[in-house]
Structure 1
Amino acid sequence: MSSLIVRDLFGGAITALTPANLVDASDLRQIPNTQEVFMYPDSSISIIVEILEKVEPLHFNDAIRFHFDSLAHDNTAVSATVDDVSVIPNDRGDDTPSAAVLSGIQSVRKFNQPTPDTVQILMALYRVERKNVDLVVTFNIPTQSNDGGAVGSQGLETAKSHFYSFVQSLHIVDYGLFI
């Protein structure tokens, strides 16, 4: 299991604990300025941190479900199921918002495969009200895959642990990031 480090996101405007061995996708391909994308080196797990315009639903539960449904649409998911939605309060004393957290499953066909992959989605939403921004963190964890990148139960538990460490440690250092 990889040790966790404090990683600078968006040039240090945000920090969070991540596995030390993550691959920064921007080293491999073009990534929009509104995203940070990381990949696990030994599986098809990916982490996306995205700055989005605040969506209309005002309640945390509805807003995070909106983002989950939007992701399912973007993935052309065959099915998408929400298992749980909760809130992780920020009790550190800084002004980073609390996070709404969602756990769900999406069945996604990749590269026109006849059998869809099963992907555990772990998503966190931080509503930055004063900047009209939704900061969304998504861990995509394939549990059944056609390309061999799926994780077993131990890999899933490790990824879940990493997700909760990431979410609980995320700190918005510089609100100037959100123009």
Structure 2
Amino acid sequence: MSTAYKKTPLFGGALVVDLPEKFADVSKLRQVPDNQEVYIDKDGFTSIIIDITERIGPAGSSSLEADGQALTTHLEELLGEDADSVKVWNTTETQFSHLDEDIPAYTLIATQTPQSTSARSGAPDFTALILTLVRLEKESTDILITINVPHIKGEYDEEDVDLALGKQGELIGDAVEYAAKIWETFEVKDWHLFNEL
């Protein structure tokens, strides 16, 4: 199944990116923080969150090690007390088509499994995360693009998913495609955005 995308303005058009047409803007349904844009699949449970945050680490600290620590810190902040139940499967350097090549970006794929004490009916078996971090040193900004993919019993084929064996299943496969489209189409139209948030 090929996904249809539409050019989507974010933060009042300061950023643009192609997102799947079947994703709805959550801010039309409920309040979303000013530094976030949240889109959710109308036909499923997957969400895409674009988050503009303060850059982790002092200026001039751009190195693979510092960026890796920033990625870990963002992941831990994102998951809060659930961070203990996360397994990171891989981390890769990422290139955005419309950003300067010297802007560091990284993507990780992880899964978070609910603690058995918090497992309740309707809770996902696990949630896959595709987290991309863009490090804008001059703007003292980190951009986080998170694709959350809850796997709820009965909504996916359990035999198709085994990340240890490299089997992503349909939902994660779709999310990887969304991420690749974001890397290809994400553009900053107004750099002043990062001074305002």
Distance in 1 (alpha carbons) for counterparts of 2:10 and 2:193: 11
Q: State which drifts further: 26-35 or 162-171.
A: 162-171
The answer to whether structure 1 residue 121 and structure 2 residue 121 are counterparts is no
Distance in 2 (alpha carbons) for counterparts of 1:93 and 1:142: 30
Aligned to 2:91: 85
Q: State which drifts further: 49-58 or 134-143.
A: 49-58
Aligned to 2:148: 140
TM-aligned CA distance change 1:63 to 1:78, over 3 Å: closer
Q: Secondary structure at the match of 1:157?
A: helix
The Cα offsets for residues 106-131 of structure 1, whole Å up to 9 and x where unpaired, read as: 1236xx54466301100111111111
CA contact (8 A) 1:77 1:107 kept: no
Counterpart residue identity of residue 63, structure 1:
A
TM-aligned CA distance change 1:127 to 1:63, over 3 Å: same
TM-aligned CA distance change 1:131 to 1:121, over 3 Å: same
Larger Rg: 2
Counterpart residue identity of residue 82, structure 1:
V
TM-aligned CA distance change 1:93 to 1:139, over 3 Å: closer
Distance in 2 (alpha carbons) for counterparts of 1:84 and 1:35: 25
Distance in 2 (alpha carbons) for counterparts of 1:96 and 1:137: 19
How far is the alpha carbon of 1:70 from its aligned partner? 1.4
TM-aligned CA distance change 1:132 to 1:102, over 3 Å: same
CA contact (8 A) 1:90 1:96 kept: no
Q: Could you list the runs of 5+ residues in structure 2 that have no partner in the other structure?
A: 158-168
How far is the alpha carbon of 1:151 from its aligned partner? 4.4
Aligned to 2:77: 70
The answer to whether structure 1 residue 108 and structure 2 residue 114 are counterparts is yes
Quick one: percent identity of the two aligned structures?
Answer: 27
Count of aligned residue pairs for this structure pair: 174
Task: Give the superposed CA RMSD.
Answer: 2.5
Distance in 2 (alpha carbons) for counterparts of 1:177 and 1:156: 31
Distance in 1 (alpha carbons) for counterparts of 2:37 and 2:146: 11
The Cα offsets for residues 85-115 of structure 1, whole Å up to 9 and x where unpaired, read as: 1111245465793421111111236xx5446
TM-aligned CA distance change 1:12 to 1:177, over 3 Å: same
The Cα offsets for residues 11-46 of structure 1, whole Å up to 9 and x where unpaired, read as: 111111110121110011000110000000111101
CA contact (8 A) 1:90 1:98 kept: no
The answer to whether structure 1 residue 7 and structure 2 residue 14 are counterparts is no
How far is the alpha carbon of 1:69 from its aligned partner? 1.5
Q: State which drifts further: 167-176 or 126-135.
A: 167-176
Distance in 1 (alpha carbons) for counterparts of 2:193 and 2:98: 21
Counterpart residue identity of residue 43, structure 1:
G
TM-aligned CA distance change 1:61 to 1:78, over 3 Å: closer
Aligned to 1:23: 24
